[in-house]
Structures are given as structure tokens and as C-alpha cells.
Amino acid sequence: MQIVTCIKQVPDTTQVKIDPVKGTLIREGVPSIINPFDAHALEEGLRLKDRYGFKVTAISMGPPSAEVTLRNAVAVGVDNVILLSDRAFGGADTLATSMVLATAIRKLNEEEEVALVLCGKQTIDGDTAQVGPGIATRLGFQQLTSVDRIEELDLKNKRITVRCKFEERYEILNSCFPAMIAVLREINRPRYPTVPMRLMAQDYKVTVWDNKIMQMNENEIGLKGSATAVRRIFSPDRAKGQILGGDEVQDPEDAARMLINKLVSKNLISLQ
Ligand SMILES: Cc1cc2nc3c(=O)[nH]c(=O)nc-3n(C[C@H](O)[C@H](O)[C@H](O)COP(=O)(O)OP(=O)(O)OC[C@H]3O[C@@H](n4cnc5c(N)ncnc54)[C@H](O)[C@@H]3O)c2cc1C
């Protein structure tokens, strides 16, 4: 049985800026990283491999440059990596993305039974948290989201128990295989690759599946298969702050007095 982990290469968003004229993300020159949630999904797959002997396959849909992310997955110990890359997959929304990922998982299942699909809860660029549940829906798999712990796995009866973390509560859920699990960061601490593994991964030949291999209907993938479109990207307007003090008020106590008077005048505090 195998576990498939879905990992997405994302721009390091702390450095991403919005082009104010075109209203698009400026990605040029921005370093790419593995989506942080997906690093935890990968780690969980590897821990299940260590404990139960699953084969672990990592898949990513993206441009050829996403090979780097998959090589990093090889360096930490996954058995198989596949890049889903074709111009026809480009411009996909979450519907079309989950369609391609689900088709790839179905194809992998023909080679070896897929017990679990591990995803991150969400990405740090698209941020929708829709792709994992989308994959589960398309495959007819159980879906277990917001998982912060895998409690138990019963291989004989093909059942898994997980803990899901919500705002005010935890839920312990028991489900049959096959299932899609979307993990939170709290689930584990990802391991670091060793130097020999890193060197080995550099020369690893990543398998690429394009649409000649996937044989998907072009109306179900990429831009054509997307039910939604981003019309505009923009930064929210923020109220400009006011600096009290500065050149005209030298004494910090005077600045504090000005602040108190301002807050009192706006009825935000009262002095009693
Ligand atoms: C309305 C809309 C329109 C869009 N239009 C465009 C567009 O025109 N062009 C464009 O480039 N982008 C577009 N995007 C962005 C694109 O849809 C998303 O990047 C992509 O579908 C993944 O969604 P997400 O990043 O929100 O993933 P989430 O749903 O937040 O991700 C959840 C998990 O799914 C898995 N996952 C997600 N994406 C991948 C992947 N590619 N490979 C492997 N695993 C993955 C990961 O495990 C991830 O942690 C659009 C997004 C939306 C919402």
C-alpha cells in the first residue's frame, strides 16, 4: 500500500509584492519554497512509512521549476516523486487543480493501492484550503481535515483514527481507508535531509507526467477547466497612522498626554 503526499511549490510570500498597475503578484526573483503545511504532510507520510512500511509517493502540479521541491522530498526519504507539468495544466483554479491531482492519484492506485492522501491544510499563496477536499471528493475518499495528530492506524481492518483541532475543541475521528488527510503544522516537526541524501537527490531524475501521459480532457484542466477566475488582486487600504510627538513635541510625557487627550476626546477611554 502506498501514501501519496501532495506538495506545492510556492513563492516565499513574506517577500511577494503586488504589481500596483497590473494587479498581479510579482514572482520574478522571488525564491520558491515547499508550502510549509506540505512539509508537515510529507513528514507525516515518512513517519507512517517508518512505522508501517508504506511506500511514499510525492506529487506536485506545477511548472518544470517545481522539480526542485520534489528533489527535496527525495532528500528526506520519499520513494517516488512525480511532477505533473504541462502547459494545458496552467492557469488552473482549485477545481481544475484537484482534477489533475486526483487523476494522477487514480493512476498511481492502478500500480499500487493508495491508502492515504496527505495534504497540507492550505497553501500560503492561494490560501483556499479547497484542493485537499476537492481531491477527496473527486476520488470518493473519506476526508479528514484540520488533523493535528494521527492517533492510530489499523492496517488489518483498514481504519485510521485522527485528532482534528478546531477553534474551541478537538474531535477524535475514526475513518476507513482510503482517506485524504489535511494536516496542520502542529502535527510534527519535519526532519532535515542528511548531506549524502541531499547529494543523491541532486542527481535524481524526476518523473514528469504531461497530458500525453495523463490523457485528460482539455476542458477539465487548466484555464479552460477552471470555474472561477481571479479578476483583481490588490492590497487592502489601511488607515494611515499618526505620529504624536516628533519634532514639535520633545518630551515623551507631553506626547503621552497628547495621546490620552486624543483617546478621551474620541470616547475610547475615560479618566475617572
Ligand atoms: C478563483 C481562483 C482563480 C485562480 N486562477 C488562477 C490563475 O488563473 N492562474 C494561476 O496560476 N493560479 C490561479 N489560482 C491559484 C490556483 O488555483 C491555486 O494556486 C491552486 O488551485 C491551488 O489552490 P491553493 O493554492 O488555494 O491550495 P489549497 O487548497 O490551499 O491547498 C491545500 C493543499 O492541497 C495541495 N495542493 C494544492 N495545490 C497543489 C499543487 N499544485 N500540487 C500539489 N499539491 C497541491 C497541498 O497539499 C496543499 O497544502 C486561482 C485561485 C482561485 C481561488
DSSP of 188-201, one letter per residue? --PPPPPHHHHHHH
Judge whether residue 184 has pLDDT over 90: yes
Nearest CA to ligand 1 atom 45: 8
Judge whether residue 65 has pLDDT over 70: yes
- Cα dihedral across residues 3, 8, 9, 10: positive or negative: negative
Ligand 1 centroid distance, CA of 95 (Å):
9
Judge whether residue 96 has pLDDT over 90: yes
Q: How confident is the model at residue 22 (pLDDT cuts 50, 70, 90)?
A: low
Ligand 1 centroid distance, CA of 68 (Å):
18
Q: Which residue has the higher pLDDT, 99 or 270?
A: 99
- Residues in the ligand 1 pocket, defined by CB under 6 Å: 6-8, 35, 37-38, 41, 60-62, 91-94, 97, 101, 119-120, 122-123, 125-132, 228-230
Q: The whole model's pTM is what?
A: 0.87
Q: How confident is the model at residue 21 (pLDDT cuts 50, 70, 90)?
A: confident
Arithmetic mean of pLDDT, 80-91? 96
Domains within the chain, CATH numbers bracketed: 2-220 (3.40.50.620), 243-272 (no CATH)
Name the H helices within the chain: 36-52, 67-76, 94-111, 131-139, 195-202, 211-214, 252-265
Nearest CA to ligand 1 atom 16: 93
Contact 175, 115 (CB under 8 A): no
